[in-house]
Amino acid sequence: MPTLASKDLCCGCSACANTCKSDAIKMVADDTGFLFPLIDTEKCVECGLCEYSCPALEKPLSSKDAVDPSSCIVQHKDDIIRYQSTSGGAFTAIAEFVISEGGVVFGANLEDDVVVRHIAVENVQDLEKFRNSKYVQSEIGDTFLQAKKYLTEGRKVCFSGTPCQINGLKKFLKKDYPNLLTVDFACKAIPSPLIFKKYIEFRSKKSGDIKRVVFRDKKRGFSFCTLACYKDWQQQKKGKSLYRRGSESDEWLRLFLRGYSTRLSCTSCNYQDCPRVSDISLGDIWDTTKITPKMNDNKGTTTVAIWTEKGKVCLDSIREKIRFYYYPFETSTWVKPRKNIKIPNYNRAQFYEDAKKLPVEKFFAKYAPNSLKVKIKQFSRVLIWKIHLHNIIRQCKHFIIHR
């Protein structure tokens, strides 16, 4: 029988399931809600392909067209696209270029059942599905197989995902395709789909039926992103939210940022080393004053790392759609070793047992209580935003952290 990665190393990328030609591997959620491979011993022919495709067991080869890395900051020139995006809208510009070349773009989409799944799109209008971060693990499904089909047909493919998902894709493909462009991002951790499902149930009881969640809504500006819940896509476009809270008071964000709902493999992540196996990496940059003050407008800016010649060609091809400014790579956040998220000192088994047994109101009251301290933080943050001090305080905070 194959020996795949242990649960503390498996990132759930689904490379093994996509690789198996005998259909002997299914991705199944365990009691934490995370997907892990389950092998059907009757179907398994013990070929070993699943072991070879696992990025946790062996890293993929470095890209053949790797170049000296460079970094820049980017803003999409379309302000609507930038507003809908997590930061500066760089990924939309990249995806628009790939589609204009007759290509296909893969990314994470929050679907109507409030589950995040990877899908493929072939028209520019559908790219809005990929905008904004999804703070929950995406189900890859068979998109690795779909991507390989398009690649072998000679079409350009842009595949975006977490660093571990891109590593899994590279291991699955077994070779570097010249028509493949991979994009990953600065990743904090992957939160549990089970806990997110509980959160949606909890929030729907308090705020109404929720079908859309924007994890980084910019209604109050880039420096004061909030989690916003909407009844449907139309209400989201109108900006009519059922609920809106920041990271200081929202139950889901607090559990995520404190590490309660983190996948175990994220605590020992090896996929964000410098250089990366992707062609391009994207991340937030909160204060651009030191790089170029004119782009520091509180509407969102993306910091971009370019690792390969393909990434460099892509960025050169989208210049007409973006505002950009190169800055020394050695001064960027990409060169700093990533600090793996720390699991808090809590009973993890009890946490997930409570998630399954307790009513959602009691569960969140126990692990993310709306205490007096939380209420004071929420009131203070909204007050600071209303008197226009939030952006200044955020800049000072990040200057102290990154000086």
The confidence score (pLDDT) of residue 205 equals: 95
pLDDT in tens, 297-319: 989 999 999 999 999 999 999 99
* E strand or H helix at 105: strand 104-110
The confidence score (pLDDT) of residue 362 equals: 97
* Model confidence band, residue 59 (pLDDT cutoffs 50, 70, 90): confident
The confidence score (pLDDT) of residue 155 equals: 98
Is 403's pLDDT higher than 60?
A: no
If we measure between CA atoms, which residue out of 85, 76, 107 comes closest to residue 216?
A: 85
DSSP-derived letter for residue 366 is H
Q: What is the pTM of this model?
A: 0.93
pLDDT in tens, 277-297: 999 999 999 889 889 999 999
Is 197's pLDDT higher than 90?
A: yes
The confidence score (pLDDT) of residue 303 equals: 96
- Mean per-residue pLDDT of the chain: 92
Is 71's pLDDT higher than 70?
A: yes
Is 360's pLDDT higher than 80?
A: yes
* Model confidence band, residue 394 (pLDDT cutoffs 50, 70, 90): low
Beta strands in 243-315 (DSSP E): 243-245, 280-284, 302-308
Kindly state the average pLDDT of the residues 231-256: 91
* Model confidence band, residue 236 (pLDDT cutoffs 50, 70, 90): confident
Is 22's pLDDT higher than 60?
A: yes
* Model confidence band, residue 341 (pLDDT cutoffs 50, 70, 90): confident
* Model confidence band, residue 335 (pLDDT cutoffs 50, 70, 90): confident
Question: Which residues 6+ apart lie within 8 Å of 90 measured at CB?
Answer: 74, 75, 76, 282, 302, 304, 322
Kindly state the average pLDDT of the residues 375-393: 78
Is 365's pLDDT higher than 60?
A: yes
Is 391's pLDDT higher than 90?
A: no
* Model confidence band, residue 401 (pLDDT cutoffs 50, 70, 90): low
* Model confidence band, residue 156 (pLDDT cutoffs 50, 70, 90): very high
Contact 183, 163 (CB under 8 A): no
Tokens linked to 181:
């462009």
pLDDT in tens, 175-187: 999 999 999 999 9
124-138, 245-259, 371-385: the lowest-pLDDT one: 371-385
* Model confidence band, residue 83 (pLDDT cutoffs 50, 70, 90): very high
The confidence score (pLDDT) of residue 204 equals: 95
Collapse the DSSP code of 364 into the 3-class scheme (helix H, G, I; strand E, B; otherwise coil) and give the result.
helix
Kindly state the average pLDDT of the residues 27-41: 97
Residue 195 CA to residue 355 CA, distance in Å, equals 7
Amino acid 97 reads F
Residue 350 CA to residue 383 CA, distance in Å, equals 37
The confidence score (pLDDT) of residue 344 equals: 84
**For the packed helices 90-100 and 309-317, what is the interaxial angle rounded to 10 degrees?**
90
Is 352's pLDDT higher than 80?
A: yes
Mark residue 147 as left, alpha or beta (left: phi above 0; alpha: psi -120 to 50; beta: remaining): alpha
The confidence score (pLDDT) of residue 398 equals: 58
If we measure between CA atoms, which residue out of 205, 211, 216 comes closest to residue 244?
A: 216
Is 162's pLDDT higher than 90?
A: yes
